[in-house]
A and B are shown apart, each in its own frame.
Chain A
Amino acid sequence: MTVPLGAFVAVSAVLFFIGTAGVLVRRNAVVILMCVELMLNAANLALVAFSRRFASIDERGSVFVIFIFVVAAAEVAVGLAIVLSAYRNRPTVDVDEIRQLRG
Chain B
Amino acid sequence: MFDFIEPAVFALLTIAIVAGGAGVVLANRITTSALLMAFTFLNVAAMFVLLGAETIAMFQVLIYVGAITVLILYGVMFTPQSPRPYGLFFQTQKWWAAAFVAPIAIFVALVAFAFRDSASAGAKGGDLVPLATSVFRDFAFPFEVASVLLLAAMVGAIVLVKRDED
Contact = CB atoms under 8 A, between A and B. Distances in A.
B19 to A, nearest CB: 10
Range of interface residues on B (Cβ < 8 Å): 35 or more
B156 A78 contact: yes
B130 A78 contact: no
Interface in B1-33: 3-4, 6-7, 10, 13-14, 17-18, 21-22, 24-25, 30, 33
Contacts, number: 177
Contacts of B18: 11, 14-15, 18
Interface stretch (B47-55, B88-96, B114-122): B47-55
A68 B127 CA distance: 18
A31 B152 CA distance: 24
A80 B25 contact: no
Q: Is the interface of A mostly helix, strand, loop or mixed?
A: helix
B149 A71 contact: yes
B6 A3 contact: yes
A59 B40 contact: no
Interface residues of A, number: 59
A48 B48 contact: yes
Contacts of B71: 76-77, 80
Contacts of A71: 146, 149
Most chain B beta-carbon contacts within 10 A, residue among A19, A33, A41, A49:
A41
A33 B25 contact: no
Given A62-B127, A63-B134, A67-B142, A49 B51 contact: yes
Contact of A80 (B14, B72, B81, B152): B72
Nearest to A80: B75
Contacts of A74: 149-150, 152-153
A62 B37 contact: no
A81 B157 contact: yes
A50 B146 CA distance: 23
The 10 closest A-B pairs by CB, nearest first: A74-B153, A81-B160, A22-B25, A18-B21, A81-B157, A80-B75, A70-B146, A1-B3, A59-B134, A77-B157
